[in-house]
Amino acid sequence: MKISVIGAGYVGLVTGASLAKIGHHVTCLDVNEEKIEVLNKGRSPIYEPDLEALIQQNMKARTLSFTTDFEIACQQAEIIIIAVGTPSNQDGSADLTAIKDVSEKIGAHIHHPGTIILTKSTVPVGTNQKVKSWLHTYSFSADHFMIASNPEFLREGSAIHDTFNGDRIVIGSENEEAARKLEEMFAPFGVPILHTSIESAEMIKYSSNAFLATKISFINEIANLCEKLGANVEDVARGMGMDQRIGSAFLQAGIGYGGSCFPKDTNALVQIAGEMEHEFELLESVIKVNAKQQVKLVQMAKDHVKDLKGKRAGILGLSFKPNTDDIREAASIEMIKLLVEEGVQMTVYDPVAQDNAKSLLGDTVTFADNCFDAIEDQDMLFIVTEWEEFKVLRLKTISKLMDLPLVFDGRNCFALEEAIDANIDYYSIGRPAVTQFSNSKKNV
Ligand code: UDX
């Protein structure tokens, strides 16, 4: 099939490259000329494992091309996928400016009767109906298009894998012909397909993300209690997860969720509920718990060290999770802001997210060239992202690099036995603290 994808961000690029891989002819459009120039050279503008290789492979096979021109993108397309961003407005609602803009442009350029306009961007319930009216703004004919919704569930860092191994593909449509054609388009992925109404499809995306965020905030609250009660959250999560009704996924306690989806979508759902005069109290609490959790390590450090002013700290990890350079809503940013206010001098290191962080953090911190430079001679070390590169470090090595080794691990990267063995002070999430040098507050 001939498919165009509007918006060459995470979702658009991964979708475009994956659809090309299963045999479709795909054109990806973005208004950002620089981005399209980079893509036309066969390079990926974002860090996502396997994406660049897939782009190159499909460009070579002539099944994937890039453009900034709506006329080129729309002239032959049977299916046009909208994958532009829906960032948060100040009040938490979704900003639909880009969706409106591209819908109007698509409407003005469609040539084929029966073209399907498929929205992949996460949009509030009812938006696809607005898309329909925006498509008509500059279009000549009403029967030029059919609208449908296809929420995206891929995770950054494993987006290609997720596309080919998803749990489900949701197709929301109001027309059997569109539903059948979209099923045909997705069939080669071999992923179970669920057909729903457009409104239900839109709601499935928000509900799924809100539920996963709830699981995370829940286990983090259990972790906070475990610390007080002397229990170990990892054992608790294991015991809970063995109950198939609960499941073991997304029960990893840590310093909260970040990224481009959970924070934005949970806020948007609270906002959507509010518009319907429904107070979504559960989700409001999930968001509140997460905000506290993201800066938990700072409180732990303040409890342990009398005065943080003038102390030196190493920060390992800036991205909101491993295998991505994305720092949107990352715990690292909030934490670092607070530590700067406390007068802490920081040396930070992340394998791929440093360039993105530089524009946000400027010269408030020192960027290290490798993880050892961020550890050596620091008064304390914060582990913020569980990159494999950090997990393979041994605590004994860390201990040797620091004078009085004091580690705050926000992602439970190491076993408690290893911390005892390495003779360090080691604080993690929801597990008993390992305190070798002191049992009470001290001034390092
Ligand atoms: C998420 C959804 O998983 C995906 O389906 C949706 O389409 C987009 O949002 P993503 O944001 O890429 O994907 O990352 P994900 O792997 O889900 O992690 C989100 C955040 O939750 C990360 O900050 C991660 O560290 C945190 N997390 C995840 C936990 O703290 N504990 C867990 O058990 C799982």
Q: Which of 169, 296, 321 to mutate to test the pocket of ligand 1 (most atoms within 8 A of CB)?
A: 321
- Tens of pLDDT, residues 237-279: 999 999 999 999 999 999 999 999 999 999 999 999 999 999 9
pLDDT of 439 over the 70 cut: no
Q: Which residues are catalytically annotated?
A: 261
Q: Which residues line ligand 1 (CB under 6 A)?
A: 152-156, 209, 212, 216, 250-252, 254, 257-259, 261-262, 320-321
Q: Which of 120, 152, 246, 257 to mutate to test the pocket of ligand 1 (most atoms within 8 A of CB)?
A: 257
User: What local confidence, expressed as pLDDT, does residue 442 receive?
Assistant: 41
User: What local confidence, expressed as pLDDT, does residue 142 receive?
Assistant: 60
- Tens of pLDDT, residues 297-316: 999 999 999 899 999 999 99
- For 172, half-sphere exposure in the C-beta direction (CA atoms, 13 angstrom radius) is 22
Lowest mean pLDDT among 55-64, 76-85, 132-141, 420-429: 132-141
Mean pLDDT value across residues 202-219: 97
Question: 87: which DSSP letter?
Answer: P
Mean pLDDT value across residues 330-345: 97
Distance 34 CA to ligand 1 centre (A): 29
Distance 420 CA to ligand 1 centre (A): 31
CA distance 397 to 14: 39
Distance 400 CA to ligand 1 centre (A): 34
Instruction: Please state the pTM of the whole predicted model.
Output: 0.93
Residue ranges of E strands in 176-252: 193-196
Q: Which of 205, 206, 212 to mutate to test the pocket of ligand 1 (most atoms within 8 A of CB)?
A: 212
User: What local confidence, expressed as pLDDT, does residue 135 receive?
Assistant: 92
pLDDT of 441 over the 50 cut: no
Distance 61 CA to ligand 1 centre (A): 33
In the chain, the domains with their CATH numbers are 2-196 (3.40.50.720), 205-292 (1.10.1040.10), 294-442 (3.40.50.720)
Ligand 1, atom 28, lies closest to the CA of 250
What's the gap between Cα 269 and its chain centre? 17
CA distance 430 to 418: 17
Distance 27 CA to ligand 1 centre (A): 29
Q: C-alpha distances in angstroms, 124 versus 136, 265, 266, 398?
A: 20, 9, 11, 47
